Structure 1
Amino acid sequence: MKLTINREQLLRPLSIVSAVVERRQTLPILSNVHLLVKDRTLFFTATDLEVEVTASTHLTEAVGNVDITVPARKLVDICKAAPQDCQISFDLTDEKVIVRAGRARFTLASMDAAEYPQLAVGDGNLELMVANKEIRALLNQTHFAMAQQDVRYYLNGLLFDLESGKLTIVGTEGHRLALATLPVDFVGEQRCLIIPRKTVLEMIRILDDSENPVKLSFGTDHFIFDVNDVVFRSKVIDGKFPEYQRVIPSNLANTMYCDRRELKDVVARVSILANEKYRAVRFNITNGQLSIAANNQENEEAVEELEVSYEGEPLEIGFNASYFVDVLNAIETDRVIIEFGDSNSSCLIYGYEGDTSRYVIMPMRL
């Protein structure tokens, strides 16, 4: 077996699939990437048994039987270190793979490709076509609210709620919630899947801001997205996501309108002197004026004021500064609307015009 391919043609798909390979594996073969040639197409596959990604590239010349596994990270490092535009060749001999790049030669250990595990996926797919930039925008608007290594495992991902006419993506870790909705050309039964955090972050990395189509497949126990010669398969989190519709407050009595960037900058500046553990800032709102303050255990204090439009009763309420900055970074409109109840109620944040995302932040005790 011999395979020769250009460095640049090899590096892109290899980098995509190797990202799912964990540094510590229970099975040694999971540290490898599977290379398979079929019909003049070279397929790269990597898995951690929870997610599986396959990327492909077309070969200009026919080659013989290629079905090998090689250490993923070592092969990526070899390709990155190789001279630009050089040819990289692979030779398989006696359970070793000899990789040649320019004048360099590397002998890598291989493992039997027949032993490489495949991610089992069930039936019952519902398919949906959306543009790269549309699904990427929804993920960027919501992914920061996911939990990370929470014992409530169903929060360690995003909810994809597909129903006739729309796709809603929701993330929450219990103290904040992010929701974004996309109108879609879909008619059928509702299906809700909790997509794991790792899959979400890989989707954001792979997707771009183009109009190129992405095929999303919603199975009963799995999720697949297919884009730009990359197929990503993932198990889903088996659990019950919170009823997010009940979390979003309505009929709030107090409403503030302000410049998004100005508010974000003020919160970020004031939070410099906030308590490092709790990151609390205090909002004091009156008609036309918002005062934001923070203090810490050293009795240091920061205060800054900005002009706003406000309809409602004077209000003093505390929030986690980092949560507010995350939300204001996710919103794309120049102005934002923030609705408040009282000092013990969650607030609702959204863009001023044409924004389909909604954000809920719980208050902190002052």
Structure 2
Amino acid sequence: MHFIISRQNLHQGLSAVSASIPSKTTLPVLSNVLFHAGENGVSMSGTDLDVAVRVHVPAEVETPGTLTAPGKKLQEIVRELPDAPVRIQTRGDQIELRCGRSLFKLHGLPADDFPALPAIDFESGWTADGSQLLRLIRHTSFAVSTEETRPVLNGVLWELRDGEMRMVATNGHRLARMRIPAGPSIQTTTQLIVPPAALQQVQKLFGGDDEIQVARSGNHLGFRTGGVEVYTRLIEGTYPNYEQVIPKDNDRIAIVDRRPLESAVKRVAAVASDQTHRIRLEFASDRMVFNVLTPDLGEAHDELEVSYDADPLTIGFNANYLLEVLRYMPTDEVRLSFKAPERAATVEPVRKEGEAEGEEYLCLVMPLRLLD
């Protein structure tokens, strides 16, 4: 293998695939980047066996070929190279990199040792608007469970149905759901449980102006645009019926300015228990009262003016879950809805007329029992 590539293209490719290279692995080849030089340039691939990234970049190929080489070390080297053409060639299982007066020789591994990436026919898939897809990911993936007791909750549910795209994520204590009208190019009806690590790669590598091709083959899903491809293994199983837990009869409504609410929660949470992060909220006649009592630390009290005219309510929450939800609310005002102290509360954006038409965003937070 022998090719000449600009330092910028080489650095761009290595940066894209490096996040899919595991920091620790028992398989040495997974620490490597697979180079494939052919008629149309050079591709670089990296994988941790769950998520894979392949990037195609222009290069002047003199001799086609393949080899794997240490990904992180190559990235460190290329980051510090001058902005000049880089000549890369292989001698056996060794890769040689020249740039100006710099010369590096690294030991590689045969390309045959590298895991094969999924074979996915993108022509049989669908096209997603980049801005919509990235918005769905950003506003839901934070709610994914990190506990391994229920694997399906370790992924984001992605549904295409009824002319819309929706994503849902939950850990059983808080839930995020976003629905966006699907474009005319999406005629598919499907339900996928996607690992958040793959969606993070999509966020990192694709832009809002991209038209992203998406396709499924068996238990794998692929994303592609331009010269970048992301592949992931899907999570198997049946996602729980999340619609059942979203309350339909919450009739106690508070309209609150999001930023002052965030600040107040952060202030009183500083005194909350490190184990439960429990805070007490009281709603009555356009007033929201925050109280925290932690026996071995102290107590906190704060108040906000809000729009609230329902019966008085006292309810407890994990401050961290409440802050997470508020952080991803896209509006200056939020709508909090409640039924009873032991029932789930919802948080929704208060939109101005004509803003984000057709988009629906809802988060749910389960309450904590208060110790009177």
Q: What is the percentage of aligned positions where both structures have the same residue?
A: 29
Identify if the C-alpha distance between structure 1 residues 123 and 129 changes in structure 2 by more than 3 Å, giving closer, same or farther: closer
Which residue of the partner structure matches residue 193 of structure 2? 194
Distance in 2 separating the partners of 1:65 and 1:207: 28
Q: Give the SS at the match of 1:171.
A: strand
Partner of 2:94: 96
User: Aligned letter for 1:255?
Assistant: I
1:161 Cα offset (Å): 1.0
Equivalents in 2 of 1:64, 1:248: separation in Å? 59
Q: Which residue is 1:335 aligned to?
A: 333
Q: 1:64 to 1:121 in 2, by over 3 A?
A: closer
After superposing the two structures, state which structure 1 stretch, 145-154 or 171-180, moved more.
145-154
Q: Which residue pairs with 2:306 in the alignment?
A: 308
Residue matched to 1:36: 36
Query: Match of 1:326?
Result: 324
| 1:96-245 to 2 correspondences below 5 Å | 96-121=94-119, 127-184=125-182, 185=184, 188=187, 190-208=189-207, 210-245=208-243
Structure 1 vs Structure 2 CA RMSD: 1.9
- Which ranges in structure 2 are unaligned for 5 or more consecutive residues? none
- Identify the residue that residue 287 of structure 2 maps to in structure 1: 289
Distance in 2 of aligned mates of 1:49 and 1:125: 24
Q: Aligned with 2:239: secondary structure?
A: coil
Q: Determine the C-alpha separation between the residues in 2 that align with 1:194 and 1:233.
A: 14
Q: What displacement does 1:247 show?
A: 1.4
Question: In 2, Cα distance between the equivalents of 1:312 and 1:125?
Answer: 54
Asked whether the equivalents of residues 125 and 218 of structure 1 are also in contact (C-alpha less than 8 Å), the reply is no
Structure 1 residues 257 and 153: alpha-carbon distance in aligned structure 2, compared to 1, 3 A threshold: same
Return 5+ residue gaps in structure 1 as ranges.
none
| CA drift at 1:191 | 1.3
- Rounded to whole Å, the distance in 1 between the matches of 2:302 and 2:330 is 24
Distance 1:202 1:109, change over 3 A: same
State the Cα distance separating 1:297 from its structure 2 match: 3.6
The CA deviation at 1:88 is 2.1
Q: What is residue 275 of structure 1 aligned with on the other side?
A: 273
Alignment correspondent of 1:26: 26
User: What amino acid sits opposite 1:92 in the alignment?
Assistant: T
Normalising to structure 1: TM-score of the pair?
A: 0.94
SS of the equivalent of 1:274 reads coil
Letter in 2 for 1:32: N
Instruction: Give the SS at the match of 2:63.
Output: coil
Per the TM alignment, residue 230 of structure 1 is displaced from its structure 2 partner at its CA by 0.7
**Number of residues paired by the alignment?**
363
Separation in 2 of the partners of 1:337 and 1:187?
A: 31
Q: Which amino acid aligns with 1:140?
A: R
- Contact 2:271–2:297 at 8 Å: present in 1 too? no
1:41-60 deviations in whole A, cap 9, x for unaligned?
2111112222221111122x
Query: Partner of 1:262: helix, strand, or coil?
Result: helix
**Contact residue 164 and residue 189 of structure 1 kept, 8 A:** no
Q: Secondary structure at the match of 2:308?
A: strand
Deviations along 1:177-225, one digit per CA (max 9) or x if unpaired, are 00111211356563111101211222222233x3221112244422111
Aligned partners of 1:164 and 1:55: how far apart in 2?
34
Is 1:71 matched up with 2:70? Answer: yes
Deviation digits for residues 23-76 of structure 1 (CA, Å, limit 9, x no counterpart)? 2223221111111122232111112222221111122x3421131110111111
How far did residue 322 of structure 1 move?
1.1
Q: TM-score, normalised by structure 2?
A: 0.92
Shift of 1:228: 3.4
CA deviation vs aligned residue, 1:120-172 (integer Å, no higher than 9, x gap): 45779863322222111111101110011422111111011111311110100
Matches of 2:282 and 2:174, distance apart in 1: 21
Conservation of the 8 A alpha-carbon contact between 2:348 and 2:361: yes
Which residue in 2 is equivalent to 1:348? Answer: 346
1:363 to 343, 363, 367: 367
Which position in structure 2 is the counterpart of 1:10?
Answer: 10
How much does 1:86 deviate? 2.6
Do the aligned partners of 1:51 and 1:119 also contact (CA within 8 Å) in 2? no
CA distance 1:344–1:182, shift in 2 (3 Å): same
Check 1:10–1:124 CA distance in 2 against 1; reply closer, same or farther (3 A cut): closer
Runs of 4+ in 1 over 4 A off after TM superposition: 121-126, 186-189
